[in-house]
Structure 1
Amino acid sequence: MTQAPARRRTGRRQHDREIVALAVPAFGALVAEPLFLMADTAIVGHLGTAQLAGLGVASALLMTAVSVFVFLAYATTAAVARRVGAGDLPSAIRQGMDGIWLALLLGAAVVAVALPTAPHLVDLFGASEAAAPYAITYLRISVLGIPAMLVVLAATGVLRGLQDTRTPLYVAIAGFVVNGALNAGLVYGADLGIAGSAWGTVIAQCGMAAVYLVVVLRGARKHGASLRPDAAGIRASAQAGVPLLVRTLSLRAILMIATAVAARLGDADIAAHQIILSLWSLLAFALDAIAIAGQAIIGRYLGAGDAQGARDACRRMVEWGIAVGVVLGVLVVISRPAFLPLFTSDPAVKDVALPALIIVALSQPISGIVFVLDGVLMGAGDGPYLAWAMLITLVVFTPVALLVPVLGGGLTALWATMTLMMTVRMLTLWLRTRSGAWIVTGATR
């Protein structure tokens, strides 16, 4: 009778150690892009409300361009982790190299499309006449860094699958420091305005990609994995990523719709929305650090054929997600008076942002569950279900969000709608994990 509880306590402690060992370093790497954006927001925000509104529109487009290809990290993490669990390191790294080559090809395609269409993309978001020129300038420069960011995603996925989240942490810290220094120097020292902020971020992103490539290439040589592009492997990586691409496009569509609605509420609303979205992204990545640990741990357990270990790890990570969500919500409430002045001195923007921040704080425990379960299913390679679940969420969210300007409530109502979106995601993911259909063991799904 006493042995079973003791075994459960031992199992929980083991899972806790694994989660902490992977999640804490993963947090640093995950927040790199949101921290870049928050640094840009803080620096550009003091140039003026029009500049901040322009950054809000451009950054939403840029985050979409990068985030739609986040499967380069997530699918690679799951595939590599499964092969690690099965004891096949050369095959694991070869899988990652295919993802890196795919990242370079996709990055070049994004740049080719985004540069000439920048004015039209900004116009689609309903940017005001004052904000549009700043949005176009920032977008056209920053898009040059997208190939580097996609390489970072793919290489990070390789390292996570190998159960290494420390290297991404070190690279992220260095990148953030360089980005902040360059932005401040180019915006104010060189007097380049919003263009200086964009150039600083591009340079930092390229430096991060270079470091990741050196680390991954060394690992490939050590284990005898080929560095040459393999057409069949690249196609396989792309095919495996299609369901996650659909899932991410649906999520980005939700965020773009929210930004478009905020832009039509007025410059103060879109500026406040940009600040809140920057914070929301940072909080989301903090919660996703547990999910990243989940991807690596779940993939490894399933690759080793340990279905019960995968179930136990999933349950423990959900408990972590709820607890961390509660803590983050409390921190948001407490830090509100000190947080907003970092990004704007406009009283109108502060007045709009304050009540919306309360909504964000209350939704954090829900977000904790969502991100953890999302990571668990990604680690299991359950991409098709994730795609359908996010499409359902998009269908529910869109009409409600579009009614906000008609029914009133402003930015607070818009962020209440965002909470509805997260609740729908939580329900769809919970139903899948409870069913057990995601548990498929072996080196490949």
Structure 2
Amino acid sequence: MKRNRKEKDRFTGAMFRSMLGPAVLSSLGLAFGDAADAVVVGQRMGATGLAAVGLALPVYMVMNVFVHGFGSGGSVYYARLMGEGREQEAVRNFRQVIQAALAVSVLLGAAGRLFLDRFLWLLGTTPSDGAVFAACKTYVGILLIGMPVIFLSYVSNYYLRNDDYSRLAGIGFTVGNVSDFLLNVVFVIWLDLGAAGAAWSTVLGQLISVCIYGGGLARGKSRLRYRPVKPDLRYVLACLRLGFGTSVHYIYQMIFLIFANNTLMNTAGAFGVAVFDVIQNASYFVSYVYDSAAKAAQPLISTFCGEHNETAKRNVMGLGLKAGCAMGILSAALIALFPGTVCAVFGIHSGEALALGRAALRIFCLGTVFAGVNALMESYYQASGREKGVFIITTLRSAVILFPVTWFCSRLGAEGFWWLYPATEFLSFAVFCVFMHVYPLRGDGLREERIFQRTIENRNGDVGEIAGEAGEFCEKWDGGPKQVFYVTMVVEEICLAILEHCGEREKAYIQITLVALEEGGFELHVRDSASGFNPFSLETGKAGDSYEFDMNAMGMMVIKEKAREFFYRQYQGFNTLTVRI
């Protein structure tokens, strides 16, 4: 059999670009929404309000552990199941995860309200802090009430992006977060509701996102319809464990925030915590820019994992790195060039706080490239289902490196504290690269020799040759005569039907991935650029009824009868077909 040839990937570039726009929109909306409370409260209440919002950041970290754990872990499984053609299992996955996420949100909210004063003490504020304590208590209390809405919004967004609804996810998330900002202006500035107005604007903004998601799904043909199901704790924990590889970062981040807030409160007072909140919001903005590239890549990588398409996985990761670094470097450069403007946006206009803020922002920007690359690697390993790699890099940059570096930098005073950001990211990147060189992580266990891949470029003459090569591939992996014949027929009939549908009207590309499964049998994945054509939709009548009898339709009928399973869907502008033989 001929060896696999190096062929140009005709699909991943277009698929990634179609995902990137909505992902950028969604991430910028998230950054806008996260900063809204700090911006408006800072402008209205000054350092006191900014400090109160900053002290509440660990609450968001607690929520993030679960919303990103359930959302990312569950949606990765969902995308892989869809990539394998297992639609019913994918729908069950969605319903189990949504149900579990809502249950956890109710329990967390109730527990937080019950022990609110003790929780605030842990965050770093007590009644002796006066206005800061009062504002923080009001803000946190309302967030705890709105937890179910926030959980539903974030987890739904993950699933929408993995179900070919990335545009709806981007629009809903952005509109919700812009609404958060506008409601902040109304509640905090116009109505003078202070911290309460900021908290309610956050909850209502996420509620608006949920309404947009629901309205869009009601008009579409999405599989994402919630129905109560019998809880399967083991299954839900498996999803959470996969997502926990990256969401564990938020546990470490919570510990870091508590330590940093307490340190700065003791050494620099409220204005030190206020500057820290500015840095945190700047870090969210830059990290969300990189995260947009990761969000665009993740559904594709998970899908290609289900198809065992290693080349496409690597290509998507390369595109994500290029896009993320281009946007991230530009964002960091703007912050470093105009640090005074950034401080002014958050209500810091003069004095010692402004001088400290300028210096801190410039130091922070030095490590943003390493931070972005680390985040993209986390996303790649998670989307590939390789929890160990995710856990290692997340633990390095969020605990093993971060905590000792933070302790050391806290001894440098308020001016030197900020060096923890570039030092942590650079050291984490370096240590992880060394670890990967010494102990390379294994893939999904399927050897490259078990994967046959070809691309047809609108030349009917290629079909017979490639069908023959597919048959030889089956023989190599102990396929019986019937399997070899059937695989050859499936490849030939499907490809000819697609090419005939395209005709001369459009340039057709067909990507064939044939996998020799370790448990026996074969799995065929076909992706093509024909405009919305499902070969299995062809209809056939009796051969004697008409001279217009369609042999392609007859071939599809035979394939449907003989295949163990088959599944068709349109995904990111291309038709995808899975046949198990």
Q: TM-score scaled to structure 1, two decimals?
A: 0.87
Residue 192 of structure 2 is aligned to residue 171 of structure 1:
no
Q: CA deviation at 1:268?
A: 1.2
Identify, as 1 or 2, the structure richer in helix. 1
Deviations 1:140-159 (A, max 9, x none): 01222221121122211211
Cα distance in 2 between the residues matched to 1:45 and 1:222:
41
Q: Distance in 2 between matches of 1:432 and 1:229?
A: 42
Aligned pairs for 1:366-445 (under 5 A) are 366-393=370-397, 394-405=399-410, 407-410=411-414, 412-427=415-430, 430=433, 435=440, 437-439=442-444
**1:23–1:293 CA contact under 8 A, matched in 2:** yes
**Deviation at residue 197 of structure 1 after TM alignment:** 1.3
Moved more, 97-106 or 415-424: 415-424
Task: State which of 262, 265, 274 in structure 1 corresponds to 2:264.
Answer: 262
Aligned-pair identity in percent equals 18
Summarize the alignment of residues 246-261 of structure 1 with structure 2, pairs less than 5 Å apart: 247-254=246-253, 255-256=256-257, 257-261=259-263
Q: Trace 1:260-299 onto structure 2 (pairs within 5 A).
A: 260-265=262-267, 266-299=269-302
Q: 1:119 and 1:158, CA in 2 relative to 1: closer, same or farther beyond 3 A?
A: same
Which amino acid in the other structure matches residue 363 of structure 1? G
Q: Which structure's CA Rg is the greater one? A: 2
Question: Match for residue 46 of structure 2?
Answer: 48
Q: Structure 1 CA distance, aligned partners of 2:285 and 2:65?
A: 14
In structure 2, the CA distance between the partners of 1:426 and 1:400, relative to structure 1 (3 Å rule), is closer
CA 439–260 in structure 1, closer or farther in 2 if over 3 Å, else same: farther
Partner of 1:100: 98
Question: Is 2:369 the partner of 1:365?
Answer: yes
Pair 1:308 & 2:311 matched = yes
Instruction: Tell me which residue corresponds to 1:73.
Output: 71
Contact 1:126–1:264 (CA under 8 A) maintained in structure 2: no
Q: Structure 2 CA distance, aligned partners of 1:229 and 1:415?
A: 48
> Which among 336, 339, 355 is matched to residue 336 of structure 1?
339
Q: 1:26 aligns with which of 2, 16, 23?
A: 23
Give how far 1:324 is off. Answer: 2.9
Q: More displaced, 324-333 or 357-366?
A: 324-333
* Alignment CA distance shift 1:247-1:175 (3 Å): closer
* Alpha-carbon displacement from aligned partner over 1:382-412 (angstroms, at most 9, x marks no partner): 224322443344123213312333x2242x5
Give 1:69 shift: 3.2
> What corresponds to 2:353 in structure 1?
349
Q: 1:32 to 1:173 in 2, by over 3 A?
A: closer
Bigger mean CA deviation after superposition, 327-336 or 312-321: 312-321
Aligned equivalent of 2:244: 245
Name the CA distance, whole Å, in 1 between partners of 2:427 and 2:250.
12
Question: Is the 1:80–1:95 Cα contact (8 Å) retained in structure 2?
Answer: yes
Report the alpha carbon displacement of residue 289 of structure 1 after superposing the two structures with TM.
1.0
Distance 1:306 1:152, change over 3 A: same
Matched, 1:154 2:164: no
Bigger CA drift: 102-111 or 358-367?
Answer: 358-367
Task: Give the residue type in structure 2 aligned to 1:54.
Answer: A
2-structure distance, mates of 1:368, 1:178: 28
Contact 2:33–2:177 at 8 Å: present in 1 too? yes
Q: 1:201 to 1:429 in 2, by over 3 A?
A: same
Q: How does 1:127-276 map to 2 (within 5 A)?
A: 127=125, 129-130=129-130, 131-215=132-216, 223=223, 227-232=227-232, 235-242=234-241, 244-245=243-244, 247-254=246-253, 255-256=256-257, 257-265=259-267, 266-276=269-279
CA drift of 1:303 comes to 0.5
Q: Structure 1: 5+ residue runs without aligned partners?
A: none
- Equivalent pairs counted in the alignment come to 433
In 2, the alpha carbon distance for the partners of 1:352 and 1:157 equals 38
The 1:61–1:381 alpha-carbon spacing in structure 2 relative to 1, beyond 3 Å, is same
2:340 and 2:287 map into 1 onto residues whose CA distance is 21
Question: How much is the aligned-residue C-alpha RMSD, in angstroms?
Answer: 2.9
Say if 1:89 and 1:201 are closer, same or farther in 2 by CA, change over 3 A: same
Instruction: Report the Cα offset of residue 22 of structure 1.
Output: 1.1
Q: Distance in 2 between matches of 1:62 and 1:341?
A: 24
CA distance in 2, matches of 1:261, 1:438: 42
Contact persistence 1:79–1:161 (CA under 8 A) = no
Structure 1 residues 413 and 217 mapped into 2: Cα distance closer, same or farther (>3 Å)? farther
Gaps of 5+ in 2: 447-514, 518-581
Structure 2 counterpart of 1:38: 35
Q: 241-250 vs 271-280, which deviates more?
A: 241-250
More strand by share: 2
Tell me, what secondary structure is at the counterpart of 1:45?
helix
Amino acid at match of 1:206: L
Q: Which amino acid aligns with 1:173?
A: T
The separation in 2 between residues aligned to 1:400 and 1:383, in whole angstroms, is: 25
Q: Which amino acid aligns with 1:321?
A: G
Alignment correspondent of 2:505 = none
After alignment, is 427-436 or 25-34 more displaced? 427-436
32-41 or 422-431: which moved more? Answer: 422-431
